[in-house]
Structure 1
Amino acid sequence: MFKRHKSLSSDRKRELFFQRVSRSIMKNDIRNFHSLSQLVLSAGPLKATPAVKHSKTTHFEIEIIDAQTRKQICIVDKVTQTATIHDVKQKFHKICPKWCPSQVGLQLECGGPFLRDHITIQSVAASSIITLYFTDLGQQVSWTTVFLAEYTGPLLIYLLFYLRISYVYDRKESTRSIRHPVVHLACLFHCIHYIRYLLETLFVHKVSSGHTPLKNLIQGCAFYWGFTSWIAYYINHPQYTPPSFGNRQVTVSAINFLVCEAGNHFINVMLAHPNHTGNNACFPRPNYNPFTWLFLLVSCPNYTYEIGSWISFTVMTQTLPVGIFTLLMSIQMSLWAQKKHKIYVKKFNAYMHRKSAIIPFIL
């Protein structure tokens, strides 16, 4: 019995010893956890390590070669992906100041089409090194300047002939002859036609911001100014003979002329609408304006009305120069209309069913 009691007391001591040890360990753990918590709270909220962003911008090196001599002119470096052909021309101008950006024509290959200014470098790049061929386009002028010069000249030239200036017509013969009313009407209609052209160029048409060679301006002015001089000389001549069918012929053709001029204007205003310009343009549809109903039959009614105006002017004045001018203008506008019609067919095939280009059911 004594031995058994002794063993129990020793077990009790061991148990108490282990309890004390465990309590001390727990106290130390609590103290350590409390210290760690205080450290974390004092350090503030944990933040993720910011990721290092690596630039993925690719720079291109553009070699400019003369299209005629095949010799290297310069190298334009550090060109970004978003840069355009216009930006390249600007940098090329800084390296070679003798060539203005409007004079610079760039091609991907010799004899190929010239790259438009809005095209990005990334869209034409096959590698980081790009070769472009340079062509000097010569002296350039803006399209607005071309149109204003072409239309202002005929307006002023016709008025000079209408006034029968002394060094063109004989003064005595001019004072003796009495002008037929169609002469005054022709001057009025001619002025209306070119004044409309000028106003639409300034306020209606979305004229391209691009440029064209100076020779095109000279050719256009020579055509319009030359024909206007020839037409005005015959109509305002003292010996001018009025139309064969008299006032009936003049009246019918004059009404038709005014109708065609009004139709041409309304069509141009309609085509200038934002819905019918740009890459997302839609094909114009007729509206409440009866002049726009011609869109049901032809794709280029502005050219149809233009030809109608000149045919009416030809019948009203009954002169050979006006007839020749009308014929040449009709041929040129027919070519423009057919070209546009093909573009419309590809882009708006659903709206071009049974439409003609310029003359209903014929052309």
Structure 2
Amino acid sequence: FVLYQVEILDWKTKQQLCFLDKVNDNIVEMAGDSIYCLADPHWYPARQSIRLDPKGKSLRDEEILQHLPVGTTATLYFKDLGPQIGWTMVFLTEYAGPLFIYFLFYFRMPFVYGLNDKLTSSPHPVVNLACICHSFHYIKRLIETIFVHRFSHGTMPLRNIIKNCFYYWGFAAWLAYYINHPLYTPPSYGQNQINFAVIMFLICEAGNFSIHITLSDLRRHGSKIRKIPYPTKNPFTWLFFFVSCPNYTYEVGAWISFTIMTQCVPVGLFTLLCFIQMTVWAKDKHYTYVREFKDYPSIRMAIIPFLL
């Protein structure tokens, strides 16, 4: 096997942090060596980003030097990603917040709408239904986080969780305030509109769950190897014929249904922002699939069949 000499520079200052001699071609072992050479215990592996170019992407753990465009003397760049937090804890925190925040408004806490007895309950059944659907959505997410999801990256920067929680928790409070407000008015087309929205909501939730199960099955036993997801016998997975990220398609569909059900402007705005963000994520994943797999189905789009 080939032994390498590896120089590790700071990605910003270009100063040498350490020099590794007689390194084998396993990037994981090399990253571990760099921790000891940097002689600082707070640079644990999850905090490290090692890359070929200062502004490039981080090398994955499974990448080896032999397959990288470097000679036997390689120069790599180190970036401290800051304190990290596990993705499971991230999702649990993000999703538990909206679940409990919504209840504060649904149960009409005195500090929200006032002490008047007339404000302690709503005459509109759709308000109760909206609470059930909203709670179901986030309980499903919590269950998926614990029992279904398999994460390709173990952690994310701790600072990001503050931003994410502000987004999820803030919107949950905003839309819950208006849906449960004493002056809330039900949808214009009455029960027919509500029934249609509930059916579409449940279909999208079932589809989203089915896609997550399918994606989880691709990474059994802790495998990090990326594979092309294909439809299964489950009809909800047939959307894989047309899009790369049907989980996002179903997610957006669920929030569109919730918007129709409640006919509430804050919910509509949240749905729009969700669609924009998920489109960005879906396009990124779609282009990654296309780049990595030469036989990737050409008919697939990122998130909307035949369109986007």
What's the TM-score, normalizing by structure 2? Answer: 0.88
Task: State the distance in 2 between where 1:115 and 1:347 align.
Answer: 15
Say what the alpha-carbon RMSD is for the aligned residues.
2.5
Deviation at 1:58, TM superposition (A): 4.4
Whether contact under 8 Å (2:282, 2:302) holds in the other structure is yes
Deviation at 1:361? 3.0
1:184 and 2:128 matched: yes
Match 2:169 to one of 220, 225, 247: 225
Residue equivalent to 2:35: 93
Match of 1:281 among 227, 233, 258: 227
**Superposition deviation, residue 103 in structure 1:** 1.9
For 1:8, the equivalent position in structure 2 comes to none
| 1:304-323 alignment, distance < 5 Å | 304-323=249-268
Q: Which residue of 1 aligns with 2:182?
A: 238
- Tell me the residue number matched to 2:207: 263
SS in 2 for 1:340: helix
**3-state SS of 2:62 partner:** coil
Tell me if structure 2 keeps the 8 A contact 1:271–1:284: no
Of the candidates 158, 168, 178, which is equivalent to residue 102 of structure 2?
158
SS, match of residue 131 in structure 1: strand
Q: Which sections of structure 2, spanning at least 5 residues, go unmatched?
A: none
- The range that moved more, 175-184 or 249-258, is 175-184
Task: Pick which of 332-341 and 228-237 moved more.
Answer: 332-341
| Within-5 A mapping of 1:129-168 | 129-168=73-112
Determine the structure 1 residue equivalent to 2:145. 201
Give % identity: 48
For 2:43 and 2:219, the matched residues in 1 are separated by 37
Q: Distance in 1 between matches of 2:93 and 2:258?
A: 22
Distance in 2 between residues matched to 1:62 and 1:283, nearest whole Å = 37
Q: What is the alpha-carbon distance in structure 2 between the residues aligned to residue 125 and residue 261 of structure 1?
A: 44
Distance 1:291 1:353 in 2: 20
**How far, CA to CA, are the matches of 1:79 and 1:296 in structure 2?**
44
Change (3 A) 1:182 1:63: same
Instruction: Measure the CA separation in 2 of the matches of 1:89 and 1:353.
Output: 37
| 1:170-197 CA-partner distances (Å, limit 9, x unpaired) | 0215546533111111111011101111
Could you say which residue in structure 2 is the equivalent of 1:296?
241
Distance (whole Å) between structure 2 residues aligned to residue 69 and residue 320 of structure 1: 48
TM-score, scaled to structure 1: 0.76
Residue deviations 1:231-250 (CA, integer Å, cap 9, x gap): 11111112211111221211
User: What are the residue-to-residue correspondences of 1:112-123 with 2, within 5 Å?
Assistant: 112-123=56-67
Which of 73, 80, 96 lines up with 2:17 in the alignment?
A: 73
Rounded to whole Å, the distance in 2 between the matches of 1:292 and 1:330 is 20
Distance 1:253 1:280, change over 3 A: closer
The residue type equivalent to 1:91 in the other structure is D
The letter for the 1-side match of 2:190 is: G
Q: Relative contact order: is structure 1 or structure 2 higher (C-alpha 8 Å, sep ≥ 6)?
A: 2
CA distance in 2, matches of 1:194, 1:305: 14
The one-letter code matched in structure 1 to 2:9 is I
CA positional deviation for 1:59: 3.6
Partners of 2:108 and 2:120 within 8 A in 1:
no
- More deviation, 260-269/273-282: 273-282
Residues 9 and 15 of structure 2 are in contact (CA less than 8 Å); yes or no, is this contact kept in structure 1?
yes
Letter of the structure 2 residue corresponding to residue 103 of structure 1: R
- Please state how far the C-alpha of 1:312 moved relative to its aligned partner: 0.7
CA contact (8 A) 1:143 1:208 kept: no
Residue by residue over 1:180-215, the C-alpha shift from the partner in whole angstroms, topping out at 9 and shown as x without a partner, is 111111111011101111111221121124322122
Q: What is the letter of the counterpart of residue 168 of structure 1?
A: V
Q: Structure 1's 349 and 137: CA in aligned 2 closer, same or farther, altered over 3 A? A: closer
Equivalent residue number for residue 32 of structure 1: none
Mapped to 2, the partners of 1:118 and 1:351 lie a distance apart of: 22
Q: State the secondary structure of the residue aligned to 1:326.
A: helix
Kindly state the Cα deviation for residue 127 of structure 1 after the two structures are TM-superposed: 4.0
Determine the C-alpha separation between the residues in 2 that align with 1:122 and 1:141: 31
Structure 1 residue aligned with 2:283? 338
Q: Which residue of 2 aligns with 1:42?
A: none
Equivalent residue letter for 2:284: K
SS of the residue aligned with 1:113? coil
Please list the CA deviations of residues 27-60 of structure 1 after superposition, one character each: whole Å capped at 9, or x if unmatched.
Answer: xxxxxxxxxxxxxxxxxxxxxxxxxxxxxx5443
Higher alpha-carbon deviation: 180-189 or 240-249: 240-249
Unaligned runs of 5+ in 1: 1-56
Closer, same or farther: CA 360–129 of 1 in aligned 2, 3 Å = closer
Summarize deviations over 1:249-284 as a string: whole Å, max 9, x none.
111111111111111111221222238985462440
Report the counterpart of residue 155 of structure 2 in structure 1: 211
Give the residue type in structure 2 aligned to 1:362: L
